[in-house]
Structure 1
Amino acid sequence: MLWFVGLGISGFKSIPNEAIDVLSKADMVYLEQFTSPISKSDLTKIKKATKGEFRPAKRWLVEDGNEILENAKKKKVVLLSYGDPYIATTHIELRERAIKEKIKTHSIHASSSLTSMIGECGLHFYKVGRIATIMSEMKSLTTPYYVIYKNVIEGNHTVLLLEFNQDKDFFLDPKDALNGLLETEKGQRRKVISSSTFAIVASRIGFKDQEIVSGKISSLKKRDFGKPPHTVIIPGRLHFTESDALKVLGECIDEPFDNATKTRKISAQMIEKYVPMVREALEEVEPYYKDQKEYQVILENAELYVRDAEKFLEDGQDEVAILSIGYADGLVDALRLAKGLDPKM
């Protein structure tokens, strides 16, 4: 038998009563700590509540899963984790494998910091978009950067988990995460993140010393956020009740505002850039064909494609808009090449 048990978000005191009973009857208890650190005092209390064998489980042991599954075929085994057991996809996969191997599984759910911090900040949970993780390696920030972009465009909030390495006792500092996003902006240049972007840093949610600080990135970079774990949230479109709550439920350095108003779709940015370029090239090439009627249809089509691009973008048909400006660009380039002109604009 294999139990998946959540610790909750407040250490040992948040463990459900049902879980305490299960721990006392289990033959083996694995405690994974790679999703979030657990204090020494809580570790001691968990050990005392465990009557069978207790074993801290590193990431590789849970991801491999073979030892846990083999023991669960003959014994009552518990996999204990911070928060809710199924926030980590590794645990879901392990349960799937257990069921396929005819091992009985049971679950005891608990509060998760992911869901709790949204309410603690005063944000609306249904507005949370895709979640991303920020690692210390700079080149890996492209993915969370575009996750923020897509969420903000839709008006949704982005929860950014920060790298935690159990073996090295390393937790990425929120300031380093924010600086990493600013550096990524320099390379991507999509106007998603700037020093004036409004952000939230939620620290140690569920503990007595929890702290929620919000403000512009430029303001947050000056703060010391203390002990981990920390989470960064980039809000999208803030409802007035969310803005009001942020000012009451935490420390609000700067007046809350919508990040969604500052970020525009990449397609809109592209059309804004390429329409004038194509029109300028079209005007330049037209005099070369003014006496050649057989080319007038091509010139007219190029102009129509430019107009279509603007109209499609206005109607929300982004992909078709990009295709249209691409067709116009192609026709103009062909006309330039036919006259020996450089097609590059």
Structure 2
Amino acid sequence: MLYIIGLGLADEKDISVKGLEIARRAERVYLEAYTAILLVDKEHLESYYGRSIILADREMVESSSDEILADADTKDIAFLVVGDPFSATTHTDLALRCRQNDPPIPTRTLPNASILTAVGATGLSLYNFGQTVSMVFFTDSWKPASFYDRIAENASLGLHTLVLLDIKVKEPDLQAMARGRIVYEAPRFMTVAQCASQMLEVEDERKQGVCGKEALAVGVARLGSEGEKIVAGTVEELAEVDLGKPLHSLVLCGRKMHEMEWEFVREFAVDRGRFDGVWKREYGGRM
């Protein structure tokens, strides 16, 4: 059987007892290592789990899944996922491959905490979130803005938008590849400040008032850990904040932000006076 096991958000101890028992007895243990990261390295997991762990990068999961699934019809294989297993479509695809295998490979999923639910720590109600979007690193020649349309749809309903920020792990250096060499770039993790700056850049082009300087937002870092950090403010203010180490996410607040949400979030404000002023002028009373 293939066990797809959620690890939670922070460290080696966030795995469930049931998941830990399975990982310790499995024939092989893989760690998916590109859609998200824990705040500890593989060695911490191996020490705590008492098992050697195979890192599964994007190429292995998407192009060499047969290697992961080998003998899974007769032996237990553990596939560890940071957060919750089905927060990323990659893992849905892996489960589908098991169904389509001949004979089908039985699977079992063990859920865990995800940023999709942990973001409730900001005080924003999960009932008031719309579509989740992703923000990728802009380049000089590539600045995709499809996220803006999804945020605009959420905004039209007064809903909050969770923005998941880009990470680059084991990304090939394209210039080196053109010269016939396989070289990987150093890992990069988008920050709240970078995300907010890119939002302002696109807003300056679109000018629809979706994520302008005075829009309220909340930046989060390392949710679920002892060092978690939450900062609220305008998008302009968040473009200047430093939340430290990864992983970061950002929430753009919807205009129907309830008074109870405001009371909770304002405690995290960079400038509480400015935050309150914008909320009362643009958000309060729109329930």
Same fold flag (TM > 0.5): yes
Q: What is the match of residue 266 of structure 2?
A: 247
Q: 2:167 aligns with which of 161, 164, 169?
A: 164
Partner of 1:340: none
User: What's the secondary structure of 1:150's corresponding residue?
Assistant: helix
Is the CA contact (8 Å cut-off) linking 1:163 and 1:171 kept in structure 2?
yes
Measured after TM superposition, the shift of residue 149 of structure 1 is 0.9
Kindly tell me: are residues 51 and 3 of structure 1, through their superposed partners in 2, closer, same or farther at Cα, counting changes over 3 Å? same
Moved over 6 A (4+): none
In structure 2, relative to structure 1, the CA distance for the partners of 1:251 and 1:197 (3 Å cut) is: closer
**The residue matched to 2:70 in structure 1 has which SS?**
helix
Assess if the C-alpha contact under 8 Å between 1:35 and 1:164 holds in 2. Answer: yes
User: Which residue identity is paired with 2:157?
Assistant: E
Q: Is the 8 A contact 1:194 1:217 kept in 2?
A: yes
Once the two structures are TM-superposed, the CA of residue 97 in structure 1 deviates from its matched residue by: 1.3
In 2, Cα distance between equivalents of 1:22 and 1:154:
43
3-state DSSP class of the match of 1:255? helix
Match of 1:86, SS state, is helix
Contact 1:27 1:53 in 2 (8 A): no
Counterpart-to-counterpart distance in 2, 1:39 and 1:213: 20
- Which amino acid counterpart does residue 90 of structure 1 have in structure 2? T
Q: Which residue of 2 aligns with 1:37?
A: 37
Question: Which residue is equivalent to 1:46?
Answer: 45
Whether contact under 8 Å (1:202, 1:230) holds in the other structure is yes
State whether structure 2 residue 73 is matched by structure 1 residue 73.
yes
- Cα 1:111/1:259, change in 2 over 3 Å: farther
Task: Give per-residue Cα distances to partners, 1:26-57, cap 9 Å, x unaligned.
Answer: 010000121222344x5223213556652011
Asked whether the equivalents of residues 141 and 180 of structure 1 are also in contact (C-alpha less than 8 Å), the reply is: no
Instruction: Please give the alpha-carbon distance, in whole angstroms, between the structure 2 residues aligned to 1:157 and 1:128.
Output: 5
Structure 2 match to 1:178: 196
Question: Which residue in the other structure is 2:61 paired with?
Answer: 62
After superposition, the Cα gap between the structure-2 partners of 1:24 and 1:260, relative to the gap in structure 1 and judged at 3 Å, is farther
CA contact (8 A) 1:182 1:194 kept: yes
Moved more, 60-69 or 122-131: 60-69
Aligned residue for 2:214, secondary structure, equals coil
Task: Report the counterpart of residue 155 of structure 2 in structure 1.
Answer: 152
How far, CA to CA, are the matches of 1:261 and 1:184 in structure 2?
21
Cα distance in structure 1, aligned partners of 2:134 and 2:281: 21
- The CA deviation string for residues 42-97 of structure 1, in whole angstroms up to 9 with x for no partner, is 52232135566520110121122221122423431111011111111110111111
CA contact (8 A) 2:11 2:38 kept: yes
Residue in structure 2 matched with residue 99 of structure 1 by the alignment: 99
CA contact (8 A) 2:10 2:39 kept: no
Task: Indicate the residue corresponding to 2:222 in structure 1.
Answer: 204
How far does the alpha carbon of each residue in 1:276-332 deviate from its partner, in whole angstroms, 9 at most, with x for none?
Answer: xxxxxxxxxxxxxxxxxxxxxxxxxxxxxxxxxxxxxxxxxxxxxxxxxxxxxxxxx
Maintained 8 Å contact 2:218/2:252: yes
Letter in 2 for 1:116: A
Corresponding residue number in structure 2 for 1:116 = 118
Gaps of 5+ in 1: 263-345
Q: Quick one: which of 204, 216, 241 aligns to 2:234?
A: 216
> 1:258 and 1:99, CA in 2 relative to 1: closer, same or farther beyond 3 A?
farther
Aligned length: 259
Percent identical: 27
Assess, with a 3 A threshold, how the Cα gap between structure 1 residues 79 and 33 changes in structure 2: closer, same or farther: same
Q: How does 1:20-31 map to 2 (within 5 A)?
A: 20-31=20-31
Are the structure 2 counterparts of residues 13 and 163 from structure 1 closer, same or farther at C-alpha, using a change threshold of 3 Å?
Answer: same
Segments of structure 2 that go 5 or more residues without pairing to the other structure are: 171-185
Q: Of the two structures, which has the highest relative contact order with CA contacts closer than 8 Å and spacing of 6 or more?
A: 2
SS in 1 for 2:155: helix
Q: Secondary structure at the match of 1:72?
A: coil
Contact 1:153 1:260 in 2 (8 A): no
What letter is aligned with 2:201? E
- Residues 42, 53 of structure 2: 8 Å contact kept: no
**Deviation of 1:173 (Å):** 2.0
CA distance in 2, matches of 1:21, 1:163: 32
